[in-house]
Amino acid sequence: MKQIIGMFKDYLSVVGYSIGTQSMLPRCVNEFLHYRQCEDVSVVTPTDIRLFYEWLQVRPLKRKEGTLSEMMIAHYMYALRVFFDWLQATGVQPVNPISGLKFKTAAYNSRKPLSRDEIEKLFDVATTVKERVVLHLFYSCGLRRSEAVRLQVTDVHLSHQVLYVKRGKNARRRVIPLPNKVVVVLGQYLKHERSRSRKSGSAFMLNRIGHSMRGDSYLLILKKLLAKADLSKDITLHHLRHSIATHLLHGGMSLGYVRDYLGHRHLESTQIYAVPGVHQLQQL
C-alpha cells in the first residue's frame, strides 16, 4: 500500500495539485485503507466506501472533542474519488467502486453558474456591440475583471483568432482561442465603435469619454443586461467566468485544458467547477 500511496502522490504532483493537496488527499486515502484493513485496492467495493462514510459521521477528532465537520467529510470523499478515478485510468482497478455513489454536499458559499439558457438570454438582450463584447470577454473568453481592465488592443489578434492575457493572476500569462463569432463581434467593436473615440489610448475597451474602462463600468453594463433579461441582480462578472468553466467541463473538455484556459495555477482550482461539493478544497 505504501507504494500505491507514493505513486498517487507523484500523480497529484505531475497533474498540478498544490503542495497542501498533495499531502492531504493521500492522508485521507490512507485512513480509508487502514479502516478497511485493505492490502489490495482491487477488492474495495461500494459497500466498503459507504461504511467508511457512515463511520466518518461519528469519527472523533484527534486533537479535541467533537466529530468531523461536513466539510472535512467531503474532503475524504473527494480524496477517494480522485484516488479511484486514477486507479481506473491507469488500469490498476477496472471497476471504480465510488463512481456510482453520491454523498451529501457540504454547505459552502459559492457562485452558482448560470445555465446555458440564462447565458443565451443575456446575449439576446444585448443590443449594442459593446454589450456583446462585454459578455464575450467575461463568458466566451473567461477573463477575470482585472484582466479585462488591463486588456490592450495589441493583446487581441483577430487575424490569428487569439487573445493574450499577459498579466493574469499571479503574473500568469495565457493564450485564449477566439471562436469565429467572438472574432466578428470584437472586430465590429474595433472598426465601428472604438475608432470613433477622440482619445483612443492603448486599452482595448474604452468608456464614453475615451478612457480605459474600469471594472465598475463593466459591471454596470452587466447589471443593465441582467435587468433586461429578468435575471438575478446578484450575478457578477465572475459568475460569467464560472459559467464558461462549468459549461466547458460538462461539455467534455479536459480538466487540464480548462485550467490553462482560465489561467489557474493548481488543478483543484479548476476541479471545483467539475465536481459538485468540492469547492471547499480551495482551503486546503
Which residues are identified as catalytic? 144, 169, 238, 241, 264, 273
CA angle 264, 182, 168 (to 5 degrees): 25
160 CB burial (10 A radius; 0-12, 13-18, 19+): exposed
3-state secondary structure of 203: strand
The residue ranges of DSSP E strands in 118-170, in sequence order, are 156-157, 162-165
* Among the listed residues 224, 253, 245, the one whose alpha carbon sits nearest the alpha carbon of residue 113: 245
Q: What is the rounded distance in angstroms from the CA atom of residue 126 to the CA atom of residue 120?
A: 10
* Cell of residue 107, nine digits: 454547505
Residue whose C-alpha cell is 500511496 = 5
Residues near 262 by beta carbon (within 8 Å), at least 6 away in sequence: 142, 241, 245, 269, 270
